[in-house]
């Protein structure tokens, strides 16, 4: 394998890992506060559609990004209302958001554009162009979010309180700090990051929205989060690993193995999902989530 091919694979791996990383960090913020976020996939999908539709309507990729973030935060607040205010089952709420997003984006897209749920192709300023080393600004914003997340959660009073809410909300409440307020803040931050992930897919990486274009990336991001044990820097490595596997799979299409022949494209494309299962089977027993994650907090009277 020559150097040029390796550079191409690693460059592609970085591009493919960015939406995973943004979604993984979103899950980290949410789950560190005690709110399990199965709805990453749905928020990414809504953000991807809203970003593409906004960029097409307003002629600006940045305007599309803001609209995508707003849509993702709005969906995230629905999850927050069901999980935090109403103390509902967080898993069920997340699954409902995923199902709602998949159907709603396709129906609205078809009603607005009559292209089978797709948005019209984006051109020029409607897309994010490259700013450095062939990558768009979104790539560097998401990469910057890693040290920011590490510093805020690990080195600030706000981060300490947020992590405490995910471990022992009763103690935080006793100290006079709003558990509900901190959890809603985390949900909003998660929505913003999912907005970046969705916008990158439709306005940065592709040239428009396609139905179900997230293709399970939200669930892969959850697997990366568990593999990284809810830490920012390991999350970067885990997401890049999945991106590298995806990039390698693209290069392996059409590969012929001795005694087997040409490997089916479907088998190659399944590699990232197979790796998800393998990694979870290997670390799920040793990865300990925040103690209060998924448990609705009921204030003692």
Q: How many whole angstroms separate alpha carbon 251 and alpha carbon 185?
A: 41
Q: Is the domain defined by 3-280 classed in CATH 1.10.3470?
A: yes
More confident residue, 283 or 182: 182
pLDDT mean over 249-272: 69
Measured in whole angstroms, how far is the alpha carbon of residue 174 from the centre of its chain? Answer: 33
Taking a C-beta distance cutoff of 8 angstroms, is the pair 16, 243 a contact? yes
Question: Has residue 152 got a pLDDT over 80?
Answer: yes
Query: What's the confidence (pLDDT) of residue 246?
Result: 81
Task: Kindly indicate the confidence band of residue 301, based on its pLDDT and cuts at 50, 70 and 90.
Answer: low
Taking a C-beta distance cutoff of 8 angstroms, is the pair 210, 44 a contact? no
253 CB neighbour count, 10 Å cutoff: 13
Q: How many whole angstroms separate alpha carbon 40 and alpha carbon 23?
A: 6
State pLDDT tens for residues 98-137: 999 999 999 999 999 988 889 999 998 999 988 888 789 9
Taking a C-beta distance cutoff of 8 angstroms, is the pair 15, 242 a contact? no
Backbone angles phi, psi at 250, to 5 degrees: -65, -35
pTM higher than the cut 0.85: yes
State pLDDT tens for residues 29-54: 999 999 999 999 999 999 999 999 99
Query: What's the confidence (pLDDT) of residue 256?
Result: 66
Q: How many whole angstroms separate alpha carbon 118 and alpha carbon 265?
A: 24
Question: Has residue 285 got a pLDDT over 60?
Answer: no
State pLDDT tens for residues 156-171: 999 999 999 998 898 8
Question: Has residue 283 got a pLDDT over 70?
Answer: no
State pLDDT tens for residues 1-37: 567 777 888 888 899 999 999 999 999 999 999 999 9
Taking a C-beta distance cutoff of 8 angstroms, is the pair 295, 34 a contact? yes
Mean confidence (pLDDT) of the chain:
88
């Amino acid at each position: 394998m020559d150097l040029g091919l390796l550079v191409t694979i690693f460059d592609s791996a970085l591009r493919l890992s960015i939406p995973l990383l943004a979604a993984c960090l979103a899950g980290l913020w949410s789950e560190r506060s005690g709110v399990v976020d199965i709805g990453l996939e749905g928020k990414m999908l809504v953000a991807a559609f809203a970003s593409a539709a906004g960029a097409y309507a307003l002629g600006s990729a940045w305007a599309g990004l803001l609209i995508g973030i707003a849509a993702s935060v709005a969906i995230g607040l629905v999850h927050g209302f069901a999980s935090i205010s109403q103390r509902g089952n967080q898993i069920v709420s997340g699954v409902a958001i995923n199902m709602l997003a998949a159907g709603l984006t396709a129906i609205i897209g078809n009603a607005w554009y009559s292209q089978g749920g797709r948005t019209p192709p984006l051109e020029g300023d409607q897309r994010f162009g490259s700013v450095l080393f062939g990558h768009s600004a979104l790539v560097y914003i998401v990469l910057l979010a890693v040290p920011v997340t590490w510093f805020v959660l690990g080195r600030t009073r706000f981060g300490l309180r947020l992590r405490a809410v995910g471990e022992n909300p009763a103690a935080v409440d006793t100290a006079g700090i709003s558990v509900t307020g901190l959890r809603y803040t985390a949900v909003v931050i998660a929505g913003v990051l999912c907005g970046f992930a969705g916008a990158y897919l439709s306005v940065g990486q592709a040239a428009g929205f396609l139905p179900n274009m997230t293709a399970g990336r939200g669930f892969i991001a959850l697997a990366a989060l568990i593999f990284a044990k809810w830490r920012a820097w390991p999350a970067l490595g885990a997401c890049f690993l999945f991106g590298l596997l995806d990039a390698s799979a693209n290069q392996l299409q059409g590969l012929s193995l001795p005694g087997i022949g040409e490997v089916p494209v479907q088998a190659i494309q399944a590699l990232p999902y197979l790796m998800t299962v393998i990694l979870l089977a290997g670390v799920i027993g040793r990865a300990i989530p925040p103690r209060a994650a998924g448990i609705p907090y009921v204030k003692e009277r």
